Structure 1
């Protein structure tokens, strides 16, 4: 496994792969790796000859400076895990390598209504930051396949839209959410939970399962109300509990004969957790 820090080093390696007619898979991460990330690496190895992983805590996608400061950074441990899981290249750039002109006057993208709902509403500017870093990484690596996790479903839709906008011929694969034994979606933020809050955090998964089992049997507003009350009673501060169209995340007030998805974002003990689940079909 090779660890590189500059665009020049990265592209030199990628070019050798291209010359050998090898396919390249890419897994973008912000580090603090867990079994969910490693499942993406495994999927990448199954779908491409070579696996490139990036580790970069992207400052321009954090609307909360404290969240950026507290984001766990575990590079040595991450590299050990990636080597054990047979990644070929790990790209660990400094900020100036990604944003050589600084971050004050970056481009903006027309991401449409998707940018302003749910995570976009609660984290203003977040998806512009995601688009900016992803475009740079994709143009550096030019992968054949890009693999990201379903837990960040809205982010996956944003990146799929970006791929269309910049017209890169990249196959996108969204890997199913990887969960702990008790259902909690794996996340780098989970390690910031206290023991007591870690136990409570499974209520988000249980709430999604409840929505999936009950959406045919009661009005959506009543269903959201029941779930919201349960989360509040457990000590969560709720950002949203919604049922949406899967295709565009437009919030639904009643069932539609289309793919639908439930999404929840809530804080417990100051740690913000998100999760989602398809409820139909």
Structure 2
């Protein structure tokens, strides 16, 4: 397995592959890899001759410096997991300086309003940071296909918009949410949960599944009220938001339209660990 810490090294390796009639896949990560990441990489390996996996904790997408400091960094273990997965993976694990130089600052983006919904309301500047790092990584790696999990569905839509508005030559592929056996969406943050919070966390997905059933016969307002009531009864979980929105625009649902697709989005605190999830409703 090839490991590159500088973009020049990576470009030299990729240019030397000679992938003239073959495709290059890419999965950007912030490390602390888990089975969800491996599932994305596995899909990419089936569809491309080679895969690049980046491991980089991006400072500009954290609005909370404490969260940035606490974010798990497990590079050695991550590399062992990738080594066991496939020899066709090239790892790009840059330093902050290699990505940002001496100025660690986000570009400003207009994602046609997608950035102002849900996560954008609670994490100031987050999607400018996401747009900045993904755009730079796309420019460095130059992949044909890039794979993202639907757990971060809003992020997926924003990256699709980024590619569209900046005319980047990459196809963004959304992949199903990878869940633990008890339903909890896989996340690098899960490893920071206490035993008690980990036991309580599957309630998030159970609530989403019931909300989906109720959505068939109830209004969005009624479903939102029901979810909020359920979390008021939870001692270990605190609801930050629950929203039903249009899958395309991410605008909150006011009146159901049969021809449109909707998705429910949720953010929950388990102690000081913030967990997000979502589910397709129709």
5+ residue gaps in structure 1? none
Q: Which aligned pairs between 1:54-65 and structure 2 lie closer than 5 A? A: 54-65=54-65
Cα separation, 2, equivalents of 1:221 and 1:211: 11
Q: CA contact under 8 A between 2:28 and 2:55: conserved in structure 1?
A: yes
Cα separation, 2, equivalents of 1:114 and 1:211: 23
Cα separation, 2, equivalents of 1:175 and 1:232: 32
TM-score by length of structure 1 reads 0.96
TM-score by length of structure 2 reads 0.96
Question: Which one is further off, 215-224 or 51-60?
Answer: 215-224
Once the 2 structures are TM-superposed, how far is the Cα of residue 268 of structure 1 from its aligned partner? 1.3
1:103 match: 104
Cα separation, 2, equivalents of 1:170 and 1:45: 16
Question: Which one is further off, 161-170 or 6-15?
Answer: 161-170
Once the 2 structures are TM-superposed, how far is the Cα of residue 21 of structure 1 from its aligned partner? 3.6
1:251 match: 252
Cα separation, 2, equivalents of 1:19 and 1:255: 47
Question: Which one is further off, 184-193 or 230-239?
Answer: 230-239
RMSD over equivalenced CA pairs, Å = 1.2
1:262 match: 264
Q: CA contact under 8 A between 2:244 and 2:262: conserved in structure 1?
A: yes
Number of residue pairs matched by the alignment: 279
Q: Which aligned pairs between 1:35-184 and structure 2 lie closer than 5 A? A: 35-86=35-86, 87-104=88-105, 106-184=106-184
Question: Which one is further off, 246-255 or 144-153?
Answer: 246-255
Q: CA contact under 8 A between 2:246 and 2:261: conserved in structure 1?
A: yes
Cα separation, 2, equivalents of 1:182 and 1:270: 21
Secondary structure of 1:112's match? coil
Show CA shifts across 1:181-202 (max 9, x none).
0111000111111111111111
Secondary structure of 2:127's match? helix
Show CA shifts across 1:90-112 (max 9, x none).
000000000013114x4211122
Show CA shifts across 1:191-232 (max 9, x none).
111111111111110111011111122222221111112122
Cα separation, 2, equivalents of 1:232 and 1:74: 35
Cα separation, 2, equivalents of 1:227 and 1:181: 23
Q: CA contact under 8 A between 1:17 and 1:23: conserved in structure 2?
A: no
Q: CA contact under 8 A between 1:32 and 1:188: conserved in structure 2?
A: yes
5+ residue gaps in structure 2? none
Q: CA contact under 8 A between 1:203 and 1:231: conserved in structure 2?
A: no
Secondary structure of 1:148's match? strand
Question: Which one is further off, 50-59 or 228-237?
Answer: 228-237
Cα separation, 2, equivalents of 1:117 and 1:227: 19
